[in-house]
Amino acid sequence: MDLVPVVTGATLDAVDVTAWFGPRKVLDRVSLTMDAGTVTALIGPSGCGKSTFLRILNRMHELVPSAALAGEVRLDGTDIYEPGRPITETRRRIGMVFQKPNPFPAMSIADNVTAGLKLTGTSASRTEREALVEECLTRAGLWNEVRDRLRQPGGALSGGQQQRLCIARSLAVRPDVLLMDEPCSALDPTSTRRIEETIAELRTLVTIVIVTHNMQQAARVSQRCAFFLAENGEPGHIVEQGDTDALFDNPVDPRTSDYVHGRFG
3-state helix, strand, coil in the chain (%, to 5): 35, 25, 40
Q: Give the integer Cα–Cα distance in Å for 152 and 123.
A: 23
Structural domain tally of the chain? 1
Question: Which residue, 131, 95, 137, is CA-closest to 112?
Answer: 137
Q: Please indicate, yes or no, if residue 72 is contained in any of the structural domains.
A: yes
CATH of the domain at 77: 3.40.50.300
Question: Which residue, 75, 66, 69, is CA-closest to 56?
Answer: 69
Q: pLDDT tens, 209-249?
A: 999 999 999 999 999 999 999 988 899 999 999 999 999 99
pLDDT recorded at residue 265 = 59
**Average pLDDT for 15-30:** 96
Question: DSSP alpha helices (H): ranges in 120-214?
Answer: 126-139, 143-146, 159-171, 189-202
Work out the number of other CB atoms within 10 angstroms of the CB of residue 180.
Answer: 27
Nearby residues of 130 by Cβ (< 8 Å), 6 or more positions away:
110
pLDDT recorded at residue 9 = 79
Helix and strand counts by DSSP (H, E) for the chain: 10, 10
Question: Which residue, 222, 187, 197, is CA-closest to 207?
Answer: 222
For residue 192, the enclosing domain spans 12-101+176-260
Q: Please indicate, yes or no, if residue 149 is contained in any of the structural domains.
A: no
Q: pTM of the entire structure?
A: 0.92
In the three-class reduction of DSSP (H, G, I as helix; E, B as strand; rest coil), residue 233 is classed as coil
pLDDT recorded at residue 121 = 72
